[in-house]
Structures are given as C-alpha cells and as structure tokens.
C-alpha cells in the first residue's frame, strides 16, 4: 500500500506503454470521434473523450460505448449531431446527456457537470459546469478523471489518474470523505472496480469506506443492486466481496454475507463457512462457459446463508446445520426481494439454494431411478446450473474424498443422460393429458382434473413412462380410491 500512496513514482516505461496502448485504441475509433470533435469545434464548443472510455483505452480494452463531455448544453448538442448521427436518444436529457449512434459506436455526450447531491436521498442534482477541470474533479476516481480532447487528441490528467492506473490503485480526485459524502454509492463502486480491474483501494479510501459505511443506507436499493451485480460479475468478485465485508459495507445491504463468519470452535469441528463460500463462488466462476452467469454466482454466494441460523452442537461435540438449505432459500428470497431483483431471477437463485444439497447421499447407492427423475424434474431448466453449483460446493482438502465426490457426480450425470435418452426427462408430464382425463372420468374442467393430472405425474416420476392402457388403468384405480367413480 505504501507505493499506492505515491502513484507518481511508477515506472515511466509503464506509463509510456499505457499511452501507446491508448493511442492505438483511440486511432481505432478516431474517424468517428474526430468527426464529432470537429463538428463541436466548428460550432464553437469543446468535446472531450472522458471517464471510463479513457481508462479502458489506457488499459488496451476500449469498447464500442464511448463517453464524451462538452460545454455545449443538450439543445446545442442535439443541433450539432442532427443529420450526422444515425440515431439519437434523449433518455438521459435531464442529466445533461444525449445519446447517439454512428459507425457501430454508441456515443453518450454529457454537458460539463458540477453536480451537488440531495442530502436526504443522495441522488444527484444536476448543475451544469463551465470547464473540463471542474467536470473531472467531481468524478468518482482518478482513473476515471482523465480526458482526451478532440480532434487534437490532447491528454488531460489533473489528478494523476495515469499514475494510479499504472500502480493499480483506486483513489479519489478530492478527499475520500468529500467524494463519498457527495455520493455514498461511490464506496460500493470502489469495491466494484476492485473486482472488475483487480486494483487495490488506496489506504485513505479504505479508511473512509469503513468510517462512512452507514451512509450507504441513504442510497436506493435499486442503485445498490446495480452496483453489486456488476461487482459480482467482475473478473475477480472475491476481491470485491472481501472489501465489502472488511469495510462493513456488506452489513448495510447484504448482512447474510457477513453473518457467514461463524466462530470456529476450538476443535475445528466445522469448516470456515465464509471462506468456504468465497471458494465456492470462485469455483462457480471457473465453470462458466462464456460471460458472467449472475444466477450461478449469486446462488454460490448464498448457498450456505442458512447455516448461522441452523448451527447446532451435538452431544459428541460435532457441529451440524440441519435443513440449512431450506432456511437459506427463504433468506435468499427475502434478501433479493429487498434488493429489488426481478422475481424471475430471484426464483431461480432461490431454487438453486434449496436444491444444492440434494446430491449428497447419491454415492451411497440409495437413489432409485425415481429419485433421479425427481431431481431432474425439480431442477427443470436449472439443471445445468445445479450441476455446476454442486460441483463448486466440493471444497474439501481431502483429495480422496474430493475424487470420490467428483466420481459420484460423474456417475449421476451419466445416469441422468441414460434415463433422459429413454424418457425425455426435460419434459416429464403425465401419460394422459387433461382432455383424456376428462373423457375417461366423465368430468368437466376443474379441480378434479388437476388432482388427477398431478397423481399421474407422480406415477410417471416414480415408475417411468406408462403405455396408454396402463395409464388409463392407473387413473381409474385412483378415481375409485378417491370415490369419484364406482
């Protein structure tokens, strides 16, 4: 951390290499960016590539979304880009932002800002600024407070962002307390950038995050949710999660994560649940095939949150967590609802938490074909994620035990594959549909048909497919037992 406090001492060769990367990236998009810059200059205004676009250019990973700032107000910006942009949108107009598309690039052009914040909601109150320096100073971190003026490509870095980028440190342009006082969400953004970029926060930033963690309570659940989602989908989510817990930020919106730090008994009768959880998240990331699977990562993070409430010590001194998956599913649903996640995503994560222990016991040879069918039916389209979550949950250091668990799950997947090939397990349905049930029993649509359908599905899961005659015979047997027919 000592080097981080003096980022200007970074090796000049590193900075030169970073600048070369930036020039190469800027040249890739310069025809569009420079055209836009010339239009603003001809209209008597400034235009600067700024923020994350400059940071990513310096990191050699500039994308197709470019951010610009200007002294032009939104109406003036619209007049400059009309007839040039292929499409224009004004959804961010109240914040001074006009969006446009040109040459396959998405451009966001924002009037210089010198915003202040509502002291209750901490939402930004837009006040237009008058200079680039003023705009850069109000930004969250120095690595996002650099600009390239267009079309001349002049580089502006008043707060040492280039040095911080080379030193891989997250620092604020103003004092951390002033910056986080303006917008407490920036504390969560610091953790998010640690996860996305693999950077460390400056010691002063860390102290402010710890001392001001309670200020996060003033931020809306939706804004917190969006930042946390980006953090969990970062290249190194573990770094971001540790920072949330260590600074106390997690306690403000995800206390279940902090709660996993159970006291370890002197005889070490249970593993460190917090460290185990972080390892499971790390394992889950390794199973992803392309991009971030937020549902899988969130299920990995929450899979053991029921353990603190279910911890019990037996007469032999051994620790148990009976039914923690049930409690964990309930806690997960409540927490994700509080964070305003969509119902569909919440339901999927909750289902994975509830199912994550179902596999254990398979290796003892206790599973019938019926149990396999129910496993697949209960997982539904979550089965591929359940496979990954279950494998991720194996964190034992006992190599023999780990190898046995892996072999058992390989055998289960093979067995699922064999039964699926025979029975189309992806769509387990009764052998008679509703129309056939009504015709055979002579009943109209209603609750009886639903009960009969459910019974036949249970038979399908228990015994596999039945032919038409056997299915009809089973339906009639059930109906007689229910007193529906003589």
For position 62, which CATH number holds? 3.30.460.10
Among candidate residues 385, 411, 427, the one where a domain is terminated: 427
Q: Are residues 419 and 449 in the same domain?
A: no
Domain check: are 203 and 125 in the same one? no
Question: Does 416 share its domain with 386?
Answer: yes
- Could you list the pLDDT tens digit for every one of the 486 residues in the chain? 333 333 333 443 455 666 666 666 666 677 899 999 999 999 999 999 999 999 988 887 888 899 999 999 999 999 999 999 999 999 989 889 999 999 899 999 999 987 555 555 555 567 788 899 999 998 999 999 999 999 988 889 999 999 999 899 999 999 999 999 989 999 999 999 999 999 999 999 999 999 999 999 999 999 999 999 999 999 999 999 999 999 999 999 999 999 998 755 444 455 689 999 999 999 999 999 889 999 999 999 999 999 988 888 777 778 778 789 999 999 999 999 999 999 999 999 999 999 998 887 665 666 777 778 778 888 888 999 999 999 999 887 778 877 877 888 888 888 888 777 655 554 556 667 778 888 778 888 888 888 887 777 777 766 777 778 777 777 788 888 887 876
Which residue's entry shows tokens 């309670």? 214
Asked if the structure places residue 272 within a domain, the reply is no
Q: CA 250, CA 128: separation in Å to the nearest integer?
A: 34
- The answer to whether position 76 is within a domain reads yes
pTM of the predicted model over 0.85: no
For the chain, how many structural domains are there in total? 4
Given a contact cutoff of 8 angstroms between Cβ atoms, the answer to whether 192 and 235 are in contact is no
Q: What is the DSSP letter of 93?
A: G
Indicate the pairing of strand 200-201 with strand 312-313: unpaired
Strands 154-156 and 147-149: antiparallel
Contact present, 37 and 151 (Cβ < 8 Å)? yes
pLDDT confidence of residue 125: 64
Same domain, 209 and 347: no
Identify whether residues 204 and 155 lie together within a single domain. Answer: no
Q: Which domain CATH number covers 231?
A: 1.10.110.30
Same domain membership, residue 157 and residue 92: yes
Q: Residue 16's CB: how many other CB atoms inside 10 A?
A: 11
The reply to whether 246 falls in a domain is yes
Last residue of a domain, one of 217, 238, 253: 253
Q: Is residue 273 part of a domain?
A: no
412 and 460 inside one domain:
no
Is 407:391 a contact under the CB 8 Å cutoff?
Answer: no
183, 223 Cβ separation under 8 angstroms? no
Are residues 385 and 440 located together in one domain of the fold? no
Q: Give the structural domain span for 459.
A: 434-481
List the structure tokens of 456.
Answer: 């036949």
Q: 443 is written with which tokens?
A: 């009943």
Same domain (yes/no): 19, 120 = yes
Q: Report residue 389 CA to chain centroid gap.
A: 15
267 in any annotated domain = no
Q: Is residue 166, in this structure, part of any structural domain at all?
A: yes
pLDDT of res. 460: 72
* Residue owning tokens 């292929």: 86
The backbone region for 86, taken as left when phi is positive above 0, alpha when psi lies in -120 to 50, beta otherwise, is: alpha
The verdict on 178 and 150 lying in the same domain is: no
Residue 24's pLDDT is: 64
Q: Is 85 in the same domain as 50?
A: yes
Q: Are 196 and 235 in contact (CB under 8 A)?
A: yes
Q: Based on the number of CB atoms within 10 Å of its own CB, is 185 exposed (0-12), middle (13-18) or buried (19 or more)?
A: buried
pLDDT at position 116 is 59
Domain closes at, from 209, 238, 253: 253
Together in a domain, 406 and 442: no
Q: Are 462 and 372 in contact (CB under 8 A)?
A: no
Mark 60-84 as b/e (b = at least 16 C-beta within 10 Å): eebeeebbbbbbbebebbbebbeee
DSSP string, 3-60: TTT-GGGS-HHHHHHHHHHHHHHHHHHHHHHHHHHHHHHHTT--EEEETHHHHHHHTT
Alpha helices in 271-395 (DSSP H): 273-287, 294-302, 307-310, 324-338, 343-355, 369-379, 383-392
pLDDT at residue 213, rounded to an integer: 97
Residue recorded with tokens 């005889």: 267
Give residue 176's pLDDT. 96
Q: Tokens representing 174?
A: 């103003």
Distance CA 447, CA 445 (A): 7
Does residue 128 belong to any structural domain of this protein? yes
Q: Is residue 354 part of a domain?
A: yes
């Amino acid at each position: 951390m000592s080097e981080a406090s003096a980022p200007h001492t970074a090796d000049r060769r590193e900075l030169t290499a970073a600048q070369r990367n930036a020039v190469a990236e800027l040249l890739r998009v310069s025809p569009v960016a420079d055209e836009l810059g010339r239009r603003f200059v001809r209209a008597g205004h400034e235009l600067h590539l700024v923020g994350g676009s400059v940071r990513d250019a310096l990191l050699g990973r500039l994308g197709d979304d470019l951010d610009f700032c200007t002294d032009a107000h939104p109406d003036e910006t619209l007049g400059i880009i009309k007839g040039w942009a292929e499409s224009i949108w004004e959804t961010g107009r109240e914040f001074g932002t006009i969006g446009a598309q040109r040459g396959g690039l998405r451009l966001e052009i924002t009037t210089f800002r010198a915003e202040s914040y509502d002291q209750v909601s901490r939402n930004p109150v837009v006040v237009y600024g008058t200079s680039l320096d003023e705009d850069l100073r109000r930004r969250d971190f120095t690595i996002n407070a650099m600009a390239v003026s267009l079309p001349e490509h002049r580089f502006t870095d008043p707060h040492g962002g280039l040095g911080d980028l080379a030193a891989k440190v997250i620092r604020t342009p103003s004092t951390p307390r002033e910056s986080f006082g303006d917008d407490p969400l920036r504390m969560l953004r610091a953790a998010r950038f640690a996860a996305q970029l693999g950077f460390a926060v400056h010691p002063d930033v860390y102290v402010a995050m710890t001392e001001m963690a309670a200020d996060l309570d003033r931020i809306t659940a939706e804004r917190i949710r969006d930042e946390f989602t980006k953090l969990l989908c970062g290249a190194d989510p573990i770094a971001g999660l540790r920072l949330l817990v260590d600074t106390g930020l997690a306690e403000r919106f995800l206390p279940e994560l902090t709660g996993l730090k159970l006291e370890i008994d002197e005889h070490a009768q249970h593993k460190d649940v917090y460290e185990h959880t972080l390892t499971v998240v790390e394992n889950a990331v390794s199973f992803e095939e392309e991009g971030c699977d937020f549902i899988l990562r969130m299920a990995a993070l929450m899979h053991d949150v029921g353990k603190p409430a279910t911890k019990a010590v037996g007469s032999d001194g051994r620790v148990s967590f009976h039914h923690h998956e049930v409690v964990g599913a309930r806690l997960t649903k409540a927490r994700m609802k509080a964070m305003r996640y969509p119902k569909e995503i919440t339901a999927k994560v909750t289902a994975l938490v509830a199912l994550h222990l179902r596999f254990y016991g398979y290796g003892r040879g206790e599973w019938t074909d019926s149990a396999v069918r129910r496993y697949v039916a209960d997982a539904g389209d979550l089965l591929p994620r359940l496979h990954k979550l279950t494998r991720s949950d194996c964190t034992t250091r006992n190599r023999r035990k780990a190898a046995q668990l892996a072999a058992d799950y390989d055998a289960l997947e093979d067995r699922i594959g064999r039964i699926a090939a025979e029975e189309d397990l992806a769509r387990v349905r009764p052998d008679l549909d509703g129309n056939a049930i009504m015709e055979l029993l002579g009943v109209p649509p209603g609750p009886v048909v639903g009960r009969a359908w459910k019974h036949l599905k249970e038979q399908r899961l228990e015994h596999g497919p039945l032919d038409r005659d056997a299915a009809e015979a089973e339906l009639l047997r059930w109906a007689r037992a229910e007193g529906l027919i003589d």
